[in-house]
Chains A and B, each alone.
Chain A
Amino acid sequence: MWASINELKEKIHAGSSEEVVAEYLERIGRSKLNAFISTSGESAISRAKEIDANDIEGPLAGIPVAIKDNISTRCIQTTCASNILKGYVPPYDAHVIERLKKAGAVIIGKTNMDEFAMGTSTETSFYGATKNPWDMERVPGGSSGGSAAAVAGGEAPIALGSDTGGSVRCPASFCGVVGLKPTYGVISRYGLIAYANSLEQIGPFATSVRDVTTLFDVVAGYDPRDSTSVDKEVNYSSSLENNVKGLRIGVPEEYFGEGTDEKVEKAVRDSINTLEELGAKTTTVKMPHTKYALAAYYIIAMSEASSNLARFDGMRYGLRTEDSDWHTTFSQVRASGFGDEVKRRILLGTYALSAGYHDKYYLKALKVRTLIKQDFERAFKDVDVLITPTMPYPAFKLGEKIDDPISLYLADVDTVPINLAGVPSISVPCGFSGGLPIGLQIIGKHFDEATILRAAYTFEENTDFHTKRPEGM
């Protein structure tokens, strides 16, 4: 069932939120996508009833929303798709969940993901891989694959994911939906279970730029509990205008390099042409440090992760194995609780921070981060947005890359520089390759979401890629 927020509002108005929520839950129940780790059936229905009965208003009143399972939800199990957090029920809500509840949204379930958001394919989940609605043999992208697949498969109209190195944009691209990674600091991370704090942001998914923006408006905003949260209240929906006249687009050639699928390149260049025809101006920009972004990103992310994940010791929550002495129990809990990819990243992160290697890896990566950030600052002196492919190729097959970490990491080549620089970026559907969606990435300046949303909205208004739905759903 694919419907926009406005269509659902009409449906709720004519019928009830309860009916809408029940319909989605029923659809999830029948699904073979494995997009959800858990659904909140009863509580969702009772919340919907409450909204119906009390005519609760709000921008998302009665609208179902799916939440990535690394965002803390009070009274709803939150696992990060890891065995180590099986059964963990947070006693508090993340900031975004508070805002969603206030806006009247109904949480219908927690979506599948790569374990602790560490992955590009949603295959590392303890709960099994999520499948791509466009081809059940392919990955939905990751790490927010469950949220993207749920939206693409009509199992949720809107969803939240998180993006540390592309984890919203990659699955949006692979699943043919819209996904936004806001500027660092725009959405509070309070309650988001950290993978790499200095890089990540929560981001919205929907089938259209308008709905992504509506959800973004609800969840964005200052939160005193997140010291990196920025105090800027903006109504982004008001910036949605079908107009790119005079928009200066930069095309960094480094993003069309070796390994980029021809059809992907063509679709992206065609899209740039479309925008030019609508009045935008294009120039080529140089971003010379792009090729180093991947290594820098992984070193930083793994280093932070090795520390973030140290709290999972089985004492206060989560998995506990048989007790021996404390240090041994700690090691055994983690050995049985974490999957291979998480272990690899913890080990590498620990190594990159350890005595003798800190400067070679961690510090070096942060210096390279500075250079990459400067690449963006330089580019944005002359252009308003940058346009690149979101992913160098369409969704790959399940199991194709999972045993080769490097080839999997390389898939993030076009998304990680954005997180290193902290700038906002949106992925919108822009074509197909062999029946699989292709994503167009539009990158903006710090806090200039309005411009990339307008560009994406204009593109959407003048193309029909976003209206295509997978068959057999």
Chain B
Amino acid sequence: MYDNPDGVMIGLEVHVQLNKLKTKVFCGCVTDYHNDPPNSHVCPVCLGLPGSMPVINKKAVEAAIKIGLALNCKVEEHTQFYRKNYYYPDLPKGFQITQYDFPISSGGYVMIEGEDGELRVGITRAHMEEDPGRLVHEGTIDKSKYTLIDYNRSGMALIEIVSDPDMRSPKEARRYLDKLRNIVGYLDVFDGNLEGAMRVDANISIMGGQRAEIKNISSFKGAERALLFEIVRQKNVLRRGGVVVQETRHFDEAREITLSMRTKEEAHDYRYFPEPDLVPLKISGWAPAIKETLPELPDARRMRFVEQYGIKDDHAKALTSELKLAIFYEDVAKKADPKTAAVWVCDVLKGELNYRDLTVEAFKKEHMLSVLELLAGRKITEDGAVDIIRTLLDKGGSPEEIIKEKGLVIVAGDIVETAALEAIVENPQAAADYQAGKVKALNSLVGVVMKKTKGGADARKVREVLIAILSDGFYPPIEREKIEKTIIKIGDVMVEVSKPIANLLKKMGYV
């Protein structure tokens, strides 16, 4: 049982940008603006020009319902848009079109791994709204001499997911965020890799104080940092006998601190009223049909993977963390050994992708299957397989080409054996040292064998063969008792080996 000593209560407001829609929520401007000049994807509507009027993007409503359903929310039959009246230079109309009474969905939950086991985080509501523009400050917001505004982002469809204050630590907040991204990522409504795709405002209080709202958090790591900072700050205020007041604070990502935004604008009175230019939505029939189209969600899929493929829960969790990865794995697992596939997709491929900031789309399923097949047929070593995966990601090509080019074909057992014998014969002192108990002496022998096989041998296997020859006098190490041993003289060093090995060496003319 986690006792939450500081009485931390965290609630998060997460803004999910529906960046997979073709157009913005109330106008026909394209959503694909990320690499374009400022104010080049705007129209009278999203620029808030006088006389312009919003019209609702139907797909955005469908996406909102999808998200509501995936978060176990009740989708309302009647919903409508309101104006939230406040002023900020990123808000071109002096109000934001959002939802207030009658949000499209509410009353859901998400399960996360809490400090002490499963934690149910309540979803107060998930509603639709429009994104404001983007502000650029010269330096930091409190020092900048002016503010630059780009309205390309203005009017992007957002879903604001408001949680109950159920999280008790920054770690839980982070896990909630990961889970949310995981779930929403399954719905094909948003690309989490695009800048600003998911933005967080955090409400946090500790026992004995009021809550602070932290804005301008641009990453999940940032959320965790901001919350950690805020707990320390609030504790310090209370320790010094001060009062933690309710306020909005701005997270300074570079300095990892939160700054008070206490200005006159604090006196918020949003004066909500229904947007007169948008008529109500009656969507009673929509939810059941949309529910049909929902994919199997992460938790369900994770349980099924464990059950169906017999893989470890850790693997199942990692594999279902993204829909595409889960599909990739499942396609591979159907044609290869599911457990080995889980290891290679999860432990190797995912790491290599993360390292390169790539998604699983950068790797072909067929390539994963051939790598697994080559491994199963002992045609390549594990190191070779890793090399192939890395080369495919970095340079492309096909596994076969890479094997040829790099000479990665596994060196057959008898060649390793021969090379091992050669190594022993050429370095009898190292062999004798090992047998005399200097374990490190083996390394130089391994090095020699690797050189002889041009790196084609599996280093682990080479060790195994050398140890077998030197300890048991024979490889493979079978029926150890039955093997008659003999001492042979190589140069002027005496080495104990099995009779077959001794014969072999004689035949090779070494002894």
Give chain A's interface residues, CB within 8 Å of chain B. 70-72, 78, 80, 85, 88, 90-92, 94, 189-194, 196-198, 224-228, 303-304, 306-307, 309-313, 315-317, 323, 326-327, 330, 350, 353-355, 358, 362
Contact = CB atoms under 8 A, between A and B. Distances in A.
Given A316-B92, A327-B87, A85 B50 contact: yes
Contacts of A226: 53, 55, 277
B277 A310 contact: no
B94 interface: yes
B279 interface: yes
Interface string B120-156: 0000000000000000000000000011010000000
B264 A327 contact: yes
A193 B94 contact: no
Interface residues of B, number: 32
A190 B51 contact: yes
Interface of A is mostly: loop
Given A307-B271, A313-B94, A316-B92, A90 B49 contact: yes
Nearest to A356: B269
Contacts of B55: 224-227
A304 B276 contact: yes
Given A327-B263, A327-B265, A197 B277 contact: yes
A262 B147 CA distance: 61
26 contacts: A70-B51, A72-B51, A78-B50, A90-B44, A92-B52, A189-B53, A190-B51, A194-B50, A194-B51, A196-B276, A224-B55, A226-B277, A227-B55, A228-B279, A307-B273, A310-B87, A310-B93, A313-B87, A313-B94, A316-B48, A316-B49, A317-B49, A326-B147, A327-B87, A350-B271, A355-B269
Contact of A190 (B52, B92, B95, B279): B52
Contacts of A80: 50
Contacts of A88: 50
A316 B271 CA distance: 24
B-side interface mostly = loop
A88 B44 CA distance: 13
Contact of A193 (B47, B51, B147, B149): B51
Contact of B53 (A91, A225, A353, A355): A225
Contact of B44 (A91, A228, A354): A91
Contact of A354 (B147, B149, B269): B269
B53 A307 contact: no
Interface string B41-63: 00010011111111110000000
A228 B85 CA distance: 22
Interface in B407-442: none
B83 interface: yes
Given A310-B93, A310-B94, 5 more contacts: A72-B50, A307-B83, A311-B50, A312-B94, A327-B265
Contacts of B147: 326
A107 to B, nearest CB: 16
Contact of B277 (A227, A303, A306): A227
B273 A316 contact: no
B271 A326 contact: no
A212 B146 CA distance: 51
For A193, A303, A316, the residue with the greatest tally of chain B CB atoms inside 10 Å of its CB is A316
Contacts of A354: 269, 271
A386 B243 CA distance: 65
A330 B269 contact: no
Interface string B321-361: 00000000000000000000000000000000000000000
Interface centre among A88, A310, A327, A350 (most CB of B within 10 A): A310
Contact of A311 (B92, B146, B265, B273): B92
A92 B44 contact: yes
